[in-house]
Structure 1
Amino acid sequence: MSPRFYVLFSAVLFLHSLHAAPAPPPAPVAKFLDQHCVECHDDDVQKGGLNLQAVNFDLKNQETLRRWVRVFDRVHEGEMPPKKSEKPDTSAVKTFLTTLQGDLSRADQEETVTLGRVRSRRLTRVEYEHTIHDLLGIDIPLKDLLPEDPESHGFATVADGQQLSHHQLARYLDVADLALGEACERVLKGDSKFNKSFTPDQLAEVTRGNYRGPESRGGRSLSWPITLQFFGKMTATTVPEDGWYRITVHGVESINPGPGGAVWGTLRSGACVSNVPMLYMIGLIEATPEQRDFVYEAWMHKGHMLELKPNDATLRRAPTGAQGGNVSFKGRDLAGDGFSGIAHRGIEMQRIYPMADRAGVHRHLFGETNLKKADPATALDKLVARFARRAFRRPVTDEQLAPYLNMGRQALASGNSLTDSLLVAYRTILCSPRFLTFIEAPGELEAYALASRLSYTFWLSQPDNSLLKLAADGHLKQPEVLAQQVERMLADPKASRFIRSFTDQWLKLSKMDFTSPDSRLYPTYDAVVQESMLQETRTYVTELVQKDLSVTHLVDSDFTFLNGRLARHYQVAAEVTPGRGLQKISLTNSKDVNRGGLLTQGAILKVTADGTTTSPVIRGVFVNERLLGQHIPPPPPDIPAIEPDIRGATSIRDQLEKHRSNESCNSCHATIDPPGFVLENFDPVGIWRERYGLRGKGVPVVASGTTPKGDLFTDLKSWQQIYLHKPEQLAAGFVGQFLTYATGAPIRFGDRPAVKAIVTQTQGKNFGLRSLILEAVKSPIFTHK
């Protein structure tokens, strides 16, 4: 029997052996264990620390239930009894599984009916920010002012991992005050104005300290591949206050464009001083010989300025022309010397308000009420009720409204103005559990709760009027109406929030900045490549959803999205048109056989590496859990980690072979390692390699292996072909990830029939991602708590 089986059962026994009379398993289960397991796992032998004679079957205990589910899965997958043991006949296994499945399903259903699948879930900090913005019409960043959301089962939306402490409540109070203060100030004082244009000469003005700005020559501002920190900063563009700015860079063109016909750079913002080194990405610049204007919208902090420079690590670096930390262009002609650069003819900056102007914020806060002319008491009651309905995302009873009205009335009676009294009530509403959490009763969701689940899944914010009206009319629960609303919401620009949030968590794209590749090992990796990788994956997932492409595109595809810089980084022989940014590229060229699907995209390959080395274990766990729907348990605490040899003298595969000789490790690694080995041909920055070590001088990469089901593969393509013929598995895996994210709870044992039904219903549409999402939303997993 597998040692992992021992560990699972021994944990159960240890927890429950203190009880005088542990609940015994049903007779068919006990008979199977007695015939195939007890010989090595009784009171006397307890091989692997497992005593099956004392096993508990109290399935009301959630930990016990989860462990019996693991037992079911291991037998169902054929991992137990172990290969070296005598195999039970098929009928015995079937009886064991059927009996255990029935008991587990009933126990899981009983708990779900009583408590629901999802415990009390609150807004994540990203959802909170979007909700406040939509509620008040403001646009200031808020999420970074709140404690970071811990992940559970890979998602910040899962209720089991969330907390709501006194510290968090205090932060919510502070943020509510900040948001309401911003909204009220804009209503009372109006919107700040800022609209300035800067010539190349102004952008090159020398101020105090070392000069690291652009060159001004011939009516153009020129920036070169100079590697001094903050080179390309333009002090004149320093903004007077926090806010959103529309930035237009006029007449951008390349100087001496190299391979690909463009010069790639970045536009970033920051204080651009050594004691505040953080820079914020605004956007990429792809300069071509043809002059073009580039327009960006970005949040900038007070006192921050713009920094524009070529940021392609493959460009020949230009000398500074001065000593120390200075840059000088005097007496030099970098263009004539053949250096590549980016030129433009000036920058225009304008303060904007993306969510709403002053009048719009007034409507969000006070409707059409004229606060100066209205009766204070009447207006307060009316506006607090209106605000509560919007904030709580549902009708509000008089009893529910009373505490907030009383707060406002008391403030008004104490001599406060109508505006200040309203803000007192509003602040209390924004810190209420009815705002911060989702109000859901066990069983089928009532219409307003369903509207919120829909809106927070696809827009990460409160329901709009259309959803609320359908909820009020009683039509929202109809399957065809649900499908129509999903289609409507995915067609809305706000659906980009879903793509970003879902991919950030599902594919770990939020971890993109957690490691920085070693520049000595990977000298061509740069900020342009990293930003392009993120754009590639998000655009690719958007394409799959919008065009309802098959779930098999997760493992392989004949297209991807590349720009010129990323194509060069991947060494893909693709026809990429300069100046068009990210574009859909065919991968039918035989030289591009190693690209296709999510797995070969740089963002995935980077977040599953540490910046220096790769690990088949980390990548294997990622592929199994995120794409194949296989849960991988954590390793035993006494098993040391495998450290790859960065010199490439010893292959990670050889090290893992020794590791797998430990029987307690082998059972898991038989599942983990195959996809991990397949991806070893990609280094930590997503470039194909044939050998390990610096400049490919180490031992050869061997990407062959056997899947857990016994399918042999010799390389990436043959592994992809195996799973292209398993769309049901890929579909079930995707549905599980989507529903975990959308509902706030992982897929349970009792959910498995519903997941299978979703997959079956999409077979006629080739298991398209959009179809899977539509059927998932109509399923009881989504429509029930």
Structure 2
Amino acid sequence: MRSLFYSNRIAKAFVALSLVLFVSYSTVSATDHAILQQHCGKCHTGEEPEGGFHLELLGDGVTAESQEYWQASMDYVSLGDMPPSEESNVTDADRLQIAEYIREMILKQSRTPNDRFRYPTRRLNNREFANSISDALGIEDPGTHFPLGNLLGDTLHDGFDTNGDALGISEYHLEQYVESVRKVVDATVLSGEQSPPQHYDVPARLLRMSSLGQRTTRQESAIRNEDSLEFRDMRVRMYFDNFREVPVTGYYRIKIRATGIDRGYYDSAETGVYDGDPISLAIHFGDRKRTYELPDNEVMEIELTEWLAKGTRVELSYPTDGLRNRGNGNFKFQQSIAHDHIKEHDPDLYAKVVASIKPKRGGGRVLSVSHWSHWVDYWRGPRPRVYGAEIDGPIYQTWPPKRQFSLVGESPISGDAEAILTPIAERAWRRKVREGELDPIVRLVHDLQPDIGDLEAMKEGIVAIFVSPSFLLINPEDGSPAERFATKLAYFFESTLPSERVHSSIAAGKADDFDALCDSVARYFTSGHADEFLIEFPHAWLQLDRINFMAPDPDRYPHYHRKDVSADMIAEAKHFFRHAVETNMSVPEMLTANYSFINADLAKVYGVDDVPEDSKLRKYEFADHRRGGLLGMAAFLTLTADTMGTSPIHRAVYVMENFMGIHPAPPPGDVEIQEPDVRQAKTIKEILKAHVAQETCASCHRSIDPYGYAFENFDPVGAWRDQYVQSVTEPEREAKVTNKSRKTAPPIQLPIDASATFRNGKAYDDIVGFRKLMQSKANQEQFVRCFIKKLLIYANGTEPQNAAEVEKILLKSAEHDYRIVETIAAVLDSPLFREP
């Protein structure tokens, strides 16, 4: 499947490249670039130039049509792929001279005063939509009744949900937006008379557990006591029998009495719950969640006040990634731990329970004494105990509620529609409302008022504001330059509409130049206003959504699945990126740092044992130089692996595209790719050597493969291995196993060769050597250039189209030792971000 994924991408790239190649090659005249003719002319001139690339494609200088070839040329020369060492006598000094010449030519790219950078209009993605409508209405989130549940999911483009081509809008989209916005507005602006508050007492007998199946009488999921109800199975939720749904929208004061019990009673290796982790209780209001750490054996009263929409279900859960370490990972097998514990520590009780075990009625298979079903009532794993709850509501400090009053006033009338709707529209549309622009919406309010009344008509006017193109679409042409820049800045850092704080900051000149932007960027991070960026950008850049696209085999890698290690891997990557920003790390250090942030679950994958036994991520330095930074993270190693094995090509393509910013060349369209006969091959390297025996394949794979072989010592979950282990499946071996003796044939262990040589002649023996090569000036510069491009894709929704401006950002970053805050500021200060 992953091979198909990459093949499709290469095919698409080939179509686009062929079109550009045809246009460029047929319209640009040959030019004598002396240094290029000297070192590259032998292979890249004539009727059949190597790789289909002719020096004439570069033209006299860098233009919109030729910049792609100039940029690719600089990438390959800087990294030493061209000219290849095996085919020329070019020295490192020669390559440096060629690369500097190409960079000088790129920086000379001409640009007329009217040649502005333009980006596609796109709709808000779903998270931007949720954030924006909440901020425009002054509410905490769209609501607890899943008002946006009907919206279509966003299509990702190379991990990014900001891509303009993937964020179009259709009539169906609009219909769903209307439905969703109405739900949000109905839960914000209330009609009718004020509802009186009610008190709901929820004693233990009214606590209920949801069911995982149709047999609702089974009690394995909970432990009921006279004064409490205890979680047993972490997959179920607790609810209140006399308060199953919120009856009326408003504020509700909720008190819940709970404690954590039996933490550490069993060995953590058996339960999968670390003794160092607290027992937590999560409270769910629709998709809003609050989580609390419970004290051990001491009742805690949790008190909170929430605005809840009518129809919201209030539920409790036990958030843990443990309790799945036995059997096939189903929780029920956990309860057999009680058998083992009692047998060892309480022989009298054990004998009593065993004596009480009777065969099932009707005969049939007799379950063993250790079977989990016999020990359900004796299980004492770590769990929350809930004693009961109290709920009061709906509660309103004023009527209408303050949030409603701030939007439409106490008693809105249709005659005031323009005055009421203008500030809402200006927040939602991220700019000043133009004269007459609200007239159609005001007329809508007036027309509806006789039939549905003033307030309901005003609500329809608000709905119209939020389903208009000015809200749903981010239009680079909309608003004044200051308003457009405020919008881009706010969506870059906060994924929402610009606040008054952002508008005031820009008006005060705090984003007028590079130095001012550096200060603004630093304030964004220190104030917490950039949390959305710190979460979403690394998720998109590193394509973390793909981590379980082909998840490791659960039988072979049970720890990965039973402890939800993929969530830890994603958290590690994001925590590392946050650390990089907060410490203003040099950008290249992100790639090859000798440390990362891990917990006990990741430590088991990484093969280290000197970390605390809990789930908290902590900084850890790797002494073996195999790990650390992005290159050593299991998230990257897992999402580039298959269910049962690894492919150096998958990992190579990922490294090239996401760390080096290089898109491997597609295969020529007239080449028939035949599958090689690899039946006699033993290792992955031998298989790939057979596959690239054809020169048409080998020329590209000599550039691609070295970026992947270094990671072959890492298995599909990112754990270290010294050998491949392959199960024996050959018919002739299976034939040796008789029916009388069905013994499993021993697996075959094959040596791993993680060495390779780049086309520039630089070689490595393993991942340690590869990481050292990645610390070269050329590779570090290439990584920073890639990072800059990824930031621009996140910001603009499209690849940057001007190589000269990217190089200028890179040079500005270099002036500040590639520090990450200054690099981000250089991106935001560039015309590639500021314009139009």
TM-score category (smaller protein): 0.7 to 0.9
1:370 partner letter: G
1-structure distance, mates of 2:58, 2:713: 46
Which of 361-370 and 545-554 deviates more?
Answer: 361-370
Partner of 1:555: 591
State how 1:479-494 maps to structure 2 within 5 Å.
479-494=514-529
Matched, 1:251 2:260: yes
| Residue 436 (structure 1) aligned with residue 479 (structure 2) | no
1:747 pairs with one of 800, 810, 815: 800
Conserved? CA contact 1:9–1:51, under 8 Å: no
* Cα contact 2:256–2:388 (8 A) shared by 1: yes
Cα offset for 1:688?
Answer: 1.7
Q: Which moved more, 1:27-36 or 1:707-716?
A: 27-36
* Offset of residue 395 of structure 1: 1.5
Mapped to 1, the partners of 2:767 and 2:392 lie a distance apart of 48
| CA contact 1:762–1:771 (8 Å) conserved in 2 | yes
CA separation in 2, counterparts of 1:643 and 1:198?
70
Is the Cα contact below 8 Å between 1:651 and 1:699 reproduced in 2?
yes
- The amino acid of 1:734's aligned partner reads F
Q: Separation in 1 of the partners of 2:320 and 2:419?
A: 54
Spell out the pairing of 1:324-473 with structure 2 (5 A cutoff).
332=375, 341-346=381-386, 367=406, 370-372=409-411, 376-377=414-415, 379-412=416-449, 414-441=450-477, 446-473=481-508
1:783–1:360 Cα change, 3 Å: farther
**AA at the equivalent of 1:750:** A
Structure 1 counterpart SS, 2:420: helix
8 Å contact 1:38–1:53 — kept in the other structure? no
- Counterpart for residue 579 of structure 2: 543
Task: Name which of 142, 146, 154 aligns with 1:139.
Answer: 142
Letter in 2 for 1:318: Q
**8 Å Cα contact 1:529-1:565 kept in structure 2:** yes
Identical-residue share of aligned pairs (%): 20
Q: Residue in 2 aligned with 1:731?
A: 784
Q: Report the AA paired with residue 440 of structure 1.
A: P
Aligned counterpart in structure 2 of residue 603 of structure 1, from 623, 627, 635: 635
What CA deviation, in whole Å up to 9, does each residue of 1:470-517 have, x standing for no partner? 344555424444333323322344532212211221111222343333
Q: Output the CA distance in 1 between the equivalents of 2:133 and 2:456.
A: 19
Aligned residue pairs, count: 746
Residue 761 of structure 2 aligns with an amino acid whose one-letter code is G
* 1:470–1:476 CA contact under 8 A, matched in 2: yes
Once the two structures are superposed, residues 657-696 of structure 1 have per-residue CA deviations (whole angstroms, 9 ceiling, x without a partner) of 2233333333443343333222222222222222223698
Go from structure 1 to structure 2 and tell me whether the alpha carbon gap of 1:96 and 1:723 turns closer, same or farther (over 3 Å shift).
closer
State the match for 2:330 in structure 1: none
Change (3 A) 1:150 1:231: closer
In the aligned structure 2, how far is the partner of 1:640 from the partner of 1:350? 69
Q: After the TM superposition, which residues 515-664 of structure 1 pair with which residues of structure 2 at under 5 Å, given as runs?
A: 515-525=550-560, 526-576=562-612, 578=614, 581-588=615-622, 590=623, 593-634=625-666, 650-664=682-696
Aligned to 1:178: 183
Deviation at 1:390, TM superposition (A): 0.7
Asked whether the equivalents of residues 660 and 669 of structure 1 are also in contact (C-alpha less than 8 Å), the reply is yes
In 1, the alpha carbon distance for the partners of 2:257 and 2:634 equals: 30
Distance 2:83 2:374 in 1: 80
The corresponding residue for 1:720 is 771
Q: 8 Å contact 2:282–2:318 — kept in the other structure?
A: yes
Relative to structure 1, the CA distance from residue 26 to residue 13 in structure 2 (aligned partners, 3 Å threshold; closer, same or farther) is: same
Q: How far apart, CA to CA, are the structure 2 residues paired with 1:494 and 1:347?
A: 38
Taking the aligned partners of 1:150 and 1:357, their CA distance within structure 2 comes to 41
TM-score by length of 2: 0.74
**Partners in 1 of 2:677 and 2:398 — Cα distance?**
60
- 1:745 is paired with a residue of what secondary structure? coil
Equivalent residue number for residue 276 of structure 1? none
The structure-2 alpha-carbon separation of the partners of 1:174 and 1:261, relative to structure 1 and needing over 3 Å to count, comes to closer
- Distance across 1 between alignment mates of 2:677 and 2:298: 48
- Secondary structure of 2:549 counterpart: coil
What is the Cα-based RMSD across aligned positions, in Å? 5.2
Q: Which residue of 2 aligns with 1:512?
A: 547
Cα separation, partners in 2 of 1:471 and 1:398, compared to 1, 3 Å: farther
Does the 8 Å contact 1:682/1:689 carry over to 2?
yes
Q: Distance in 1 between matches of 2:376 and 2:168?
A: 60
Among 2, 7, 23, the residue aligned to 2:27:
23
**Paired residue type of 1:698:** Q
**2:295 is aligned with 1:311:** no
**Secondary structure of the residue that 2:596 maps to in structure 1?**
strand
**Retained in 1: the 8 A contact 2:222–2:229?**
yes
Task: Give yes or no for contact 2:518–2:821 (8 Å, CA) kept in 1.
Answer: no
Alpha-carbon shift at residue 448 of structure 1 (Å)? 1.3
- The alpha carbon displacement at 1:605 in A equals 2.3
CA pair 615-331 structure 1, distance change in 2 beyond 3 A: closer
Deviates more, 1:684-693 or 1:356-365: 356-365
Listed one character per residue, the Cα deviations across residues 452-473 of structure 1 (whole Å, up to 9, x for unaligned) are: 1111111110111111223445
Q: In the aligned structure 1, how far is the partner of 2:70 from the partner of 2:539?
A: 32
For 1:487, give the aligned amino acid.
A
Equivalent position amino acid for 1:420 in 2:
E
- Residues 514/739 of structure 1: CA separation in 2 closer, same or farther (3 Å cut): same
Structure 1 stretch 343-352 or stretch 670-679: which is displaced more? 343-352
In structure 2, what is the Cα distance between the partners aligned to 1:286 and 1:569? 27
Query: 1 or 2 for the larger relative contact order (CA 8 Å, sep ≥6)?
Result: 2
TM-score (norm 1): 0.78
Deviation of the 1:604 alpha carbon? 2.4
Kindly provide the CA deviation profile for residues 584-635 of structure 1, in whole angstroms up to 9, marking residues without a partner as x: 23325x4x65432123223222222233322212222222222233333455
- For the residue of structure 1 that corresponds to 2:701, the secondary structure is helix
Q: Per-residue CA shift, 1:249-271, capped at 9, x if unaligned?
A: 52244221335645799978999
Q: 1:307 to 1:25 in 2, by over 3 A?
A: same
User: Do the aligned partners of residues 635 and 190 (structure 1) sit closer, same or farther apart at CA in structure 2, a change above 3 Å counting?
Assistant: farther
How far, CA to CA, are the matches of 2:158 and 2:604 in structure 1? 36
- Partner Cα distance (1:170, 1:703) in 2: 54
Q: 1:595 to 1:360 in 2, by over 3 A?
A: farther
Question: In the TM superposition, what is the alpha-carbon distance from 1:382 to its structure 2 partner?
Answer: 0.7
Q: Which runs of 5+ in 1 are unaligned?
A: 272-278
Measured at CA, do residues 689 and 449 of structure 1 come closer, stay the same or move farther in structure 2, by a change above 3 Å? same
Secondary structure of the 1:682 match is coil
Query: CA offset at residue 248 of structure 1?
Result: 7.6
